[in-house]
Amino acid sequence: MNILLITNEQNIIETFGEKLMLLRETDELSYCDYEEAPDIVFADKPDIVIVHEHNDKNKSINLIKYIKTQIDSILLLINRYDRDFILNAYDEGIDDYFMTNSDPSEISIRTVNCIKKENLKKKIKQYQTYLKQYDILDKTTAIITDKFSKEINSKELSLNDFTRGALMVISPDEEGKLKYSADKVIQSVKKAVRYSDIITQGGGTKVFILINEGGISGAVKILDKIKQELNNEISIKAGICAITSENFAVLEKNAQCALSDSLLGNLDFSIYTETSAINGENWLEPQKEKNYKLFRVAFNKKLEKVIAPVFYRLQKSWEEKLFNTKVEQYTDESQSLFKLTNPKQTSLLKIVYPGFAKVIVYITHEGLDSPENTEISLPLNKINTKEITNIVEKFIKEFKSTIE
């Protein structure tokens, strides 16, 4: 195992080797400075690189970015704890970090663990090569191909509990297709998901993500992370559905329906709301015999799958666009609140459930020259992503008119 330590400080070179214990006789430790590092990493391809922090931390981050294009395993050596610097380094792909004053046993243990991970990465790469040869993994992006997507996702659903998860399909919109890069999108997805989530191709430019934990709100957060990674370079839309079946074909259809709604309605995402048959009737339609418990279940599902994700998305979308304004949103079992607070104006949108087949949306504006307060009655079966989005965005426009 070849280990390269990159540092510009001579005292680190003189002392670090003594701290790195428990290495095998075949392991080698070498040194270089920042200026030499790119050429040496490119030519020698060490198994593990330890990057000692530079006085200019941006130089360390940029060097880590480059090294990651050449090798997989990187450790960070720091003089003092700096949370933001460490998190940035993790974002760029380091495996672990330790400090120059760490105990020798800690340094050695973390390095040995990195060696073990490096051996595992090599084994995984070997398996990936075999899977690519048989067209199970895509040769470029290394994710499961469309050909095996249904089979593998169905197997995962039968073997593991995904009931607290969700299925999301993403695809570029018409504008996004002009700049589309499969590798860029997949890399962004990989950075946003956990190892327990399953990424598969869906034909064309579609990518499916079978999410293990977090439900609908977790899927929305993953979508936000993907968009952040894409940095507005490629605009994407998403369809999301809850895990209601072990039959992936059913879930795939539901997610695709939601994606179509998202693309047609020009929404960031749309959520598929499954309608279950109860006594031969649609459970979201007004029932011939009123059943409060049944409607409460229906309303709770609307809260989880429609209202809460829309409120969350619009909060993230508007909190940087409304100057000097605090954007808050909150949802519990009985009501949902979306509040805008500015020195000139306070406005509140509240959705409450009075019982049975409808909800009431109360919109109140407190301030001079405020728009009229309104009250909207909505049947449960009319609550969907598009309708709630339209109501909240109209509310925001009314608020904006009072502060501009």
Query: Average pLDDT for residues 7-20, to the nearest whole number?
Result: 87
Structure confidence at residue 50 (pLDDT): 95
pLDDT-derived band at 293 (thresholds 50, 70, 90) equals: low
Output the CA–CA distances (angstroms, integers) from residue 360 to 105, 352, 356, 373, 375, in the order listed.
Answer: 63, 5, 11, 13, 7
Structure confidence at residue 292 (pLDDT): 60
Structure confidence at residue 95 (pLDDT): 92
Q: Which of 154-163, 190-199, 316-325 has the least mean pLDDT? A: 316-325
Percentage of the chain lying above the pLDDT 70 cut: 91
Q: pLDDT at residue 276 above 70?
A: no
pLDDT digits (tens, 9 = 90+) for 213-265: 888 888 999 999 999 999 889 999 999 999 988 889 899 988 988 888 788 77
Range with the largest mean pLDDT of 64-68, 157-161, 363-367: 64-68
Q: pLDDT at residue 376 above 60?
A: yes
Query: Average pLDDT for residues 32-47, to the nearest whole number?
Result: 94
Query: Average pLDDT for residues 258-287, to the nearest whole number?
Result: 60
Mean pLDDT for the chain overall = 86
Query: Average pLDDT for residues 43-62, to the nearest whole number?
Result: 94
Q: pLDDT at residue 30 above 50?
A: yes
Distance from C-alpha of 273 to C-alpha of 283, rounded to nearest angstrom:
11
Q: pLDDT at residue 52 above 60?
A: yes
Q: Which of 106-110, 170-174, 391-395 has the least mean pLDDT? A: 106-110
pLDDT-derived band at 119 (thresholds 50, 70, 90) equals: confident
Structure confidence at residue 395 (pLDDT): 93
Q: pLDDT at residue 289 above 50?
A: no
Structure confidence at residue 285 (pLDDT): 42
Q: pLDDT at residue 281 above 60?
A: no
Structure confidence at residue 290 (pLDDT): 47
Q: Which residue ranges form the domains of the chain, and what is each CATH number? A: 2-130 (3.40.50.2300), 146-272 (3.30.70.270), 292-403 (no CATH)
164/301: higher pLDDT: 164
